[in-house]
Chains A and B, each alone.
Chain A
Amino acid sequence: MWNYYFLLGWRSLRRNPILTTLMILILAVGIGTSMTSLTMLLVLSGDPIPQKSERLFVPKFHIADMRGYKAGDKPDFQFTYIDTKNLLRDKRAKRQTALFGLSLTVDSGRKDLPAFSERGMATTSDIFPMFDMPFRFGSSWSADADDKASNVVVIGPELSEKLFKNENPVGKTIKIIDRDYTISGVLDVWQPTPKFYRLYGSDATSRPEQIWLPFTNAVSREFSNSGWNNCSGEGAGSGYEGWLKSECTWIQYWAELDKASDAAAYRDYLSAYVAEQKKLGRMPRPEPFQLLSLREWLEDAGVVGRDTKLSTWMAFGFLMVCLVNLVALMLAKFTARAGDIGVRRALGASRKEIFRQYLIEAGVVGLVGAILGLGLSWYGVHIISSRLAEADDFYRMDFRMLLITLLMSISAALLAGLLPTWRACQVRPAIQLKSQ
Chain B
Amino acid sequence: MEIRPIFSAMMRSKTGVILIALQIALTLAILANALYVVRDRTNEANRVSGVDDANVFMIATLDRDVDGVMARQKRDEELLRAIPGVASASWTSQMPLSQSGSNTGVQTNPKQTDSVASPSVYSGTEMLIKTLKLKLLEGRDFNASEVLETDNRLPDQAKPKVAIVTKALAKKLFPNDASVLGKLFYQGRGDPPIEIIGVVDELVTPWGRASWNTDQTGDESFILPARFTQRYNIYAVRTEPGQRDNIMKEAEKVLLAAVPGRLISENNSMDQLRENRYRGEHTMANGLLIVIGLLLLMTASGIVGLASLWVNQRRKQIGIRRALGARRVDIVRYFVTENVMICVFGIVMGSGLAIALNRAMMSELELQRLPLAYLLMGAVSLLFLGVMAVLGPAWRAAQIAPAIATRSA
- A29 CA to B290 CA, complexed, in Å: 11
Stretch at the interface among A164-172, A326-334, A344-352: A326-334
Of the candidates B23, B62, B155, B156, which one forms a contact with A325 in the assembled complex, judged by CB atoms under 8 Å apart? B23
Contact B26 A324 (CB under 8 A): yes
Contact residues of A between 213 and 252, Cβ < 8 Å to B: 222, 229, 231-236, 238-240, 242
In the assembled complex, 25 residue pairs joining A and B whose CB atoms fall closer than 8 Å, in A order, are A22-B301, A29-B294, A67-B113, A117-B265, A233-B189, A234-B189, A235-B187, A238-B154, A238-B155, A238-B157, A239-B153, A310-B361, A311-B287, A317-B29, A318-B30, A318-B294, A318-B295, A320-B26, A324-B26, A325-B23, A325-B302, A328-B16, A328-B20, A384-B283, A387-B283
- A105 CA to B65 CA, complexed, in Å: 11
Contact B22 A324 (CB under 8 A): yes
Contact A177 B26 (CB under 8 A): no
Contact B19 A327 (CB under 8 A): yes
Nearest Cβ on chain B to A382's Cβ, whole angstroms: 13
Contact residues of A between 62 and 115, Cβ < 8 Å to B: 66-69, 103, 105, 107, 115
Interface size class of B (residues with CB under 8 A): 35 or more
| Residues in chain A near residue B288, CB distance under 8 A | 311, 314
Of the candidates A22, A177, A238, A315, which one forms a contact with B291 in the assembled complex, judged by CB atoms under 8 Å apart? A315
B385 is an interface residue with CB less than 8 A from chain A: no
Chain A interface SS verdict (over half): helix
Contact A321 B298 (CB under 8 A): yes
Q: What residue in chain A is nearest B298 (Cβ atoms)?
A: A325
Known pairs A67-B113, A314-B33, A331-B19; list 14 more (Cβ under 8 Å).
A22-B301, A33-B294, A67-B115, A222-B153, A238-B156, A306-B211, A318-B30, A321-B295, A324-B26, A325-B23, A325-B301, A328-B20, A329-B305, A388-B280
B27 is an interface residue with CB less than 8 A from chain A: yes
A423 is an interface residue with CB less than 8 A from chain B: yes
Contact B115 A423 (CB under 8 A): no
Contact B279 A117 (CB under 8 A): no
Contact B105 A313 (CB under 8 A): no
A398 is an interface residue with CB less than 8 A from chain B: no
Contact A317 B62 (CB under 8 A): no
Q: What residue in chain B is nearest A117 (Cβ atoms)?
A: B265
A116 is an interface residue with CB less than 8 A from chain B: yes
Of the candidates B26, B104, B154, which one forms a contact with A239 in the assembled complex, judged by CB atoms under 8 Å apart? B154
| Residues in chain B near residue A115, CB distance under 8 A | 261, 263
- A180 CA to B215 CA, complexed, in Å: 46
Contact B299 A321 (CB under 8 A): yes
Of the candidates A234, A239, A306, A314, which one forms a contact with B152 in the assembled complex, judged by CB atoms under 8 Å apart? A239
Contact B153 A240 (CB under 8 A): yes
B2 is an interface residue with CB less than 8 A from chain A: no
Q: What residue in chain B is nearest A224 (Cβ atoms)?
A: B230
Nearest Cβ on chain A to B46's Cβ, whole angstroms: 18
Nearest Cβ on chain B to A9's Cβ, whole angstroms: 21
- A22 CA to B297 CA, complexed, in Å: 12
Nearest Cβ on chain B to A159's Cβ, whole angstroms: 16
Q: Which B residues are within 8 Å of any A CB, using their own CB?
A: 15-16, 19-20, 22-23, 26-27, 29-30, 33-34, 37, 62, 64-65, 102, 104-105, 112-115, 152-157, 187-191, 211-212, 232, 261, 263, 265, 279-280, 283-284, 287-288, 291, 294-295, 298-299, 301-302, 305-306, 309, 357, 361, 364-367
A144 is an interface residue with CB less than 8 A from chain B: no
| Residues in chain A near residue B261, CB distance under 8 A | 107, 115
Contact B283 A66 (CB under 8 A): no
- A327 CA to B15 CA, complexed, in Å: 10
Contact A105 B263 (CB under 8 A): yes
| Residues in chain A near residue B27, CB distance under 8 A | 321
Nearest Cβ on chain A to B18's Cβ, whole angstroms: 10
Contact residues of A between 104 and 154, Cβ < 8 Å to B: 105, 107, 115-117
| Residues in chain B near residue A178, CB distance under 8 A | 64-65
Q: What residue in chain B is nearest A316 (Cβ atoms)?
A: B30
| Residues in chain B near residue A328, CB distance under 8 A | 16, 19-20, 23, 302, 305-306
Instruction: Given A238-B154, A328-B19, A419-B15, decide whether A103 and B232 contact each other with a Cβ distance below 8 A.
Output: yes
Nearest Cβ on chain B to A415's Cβ, whole angstroms: 14
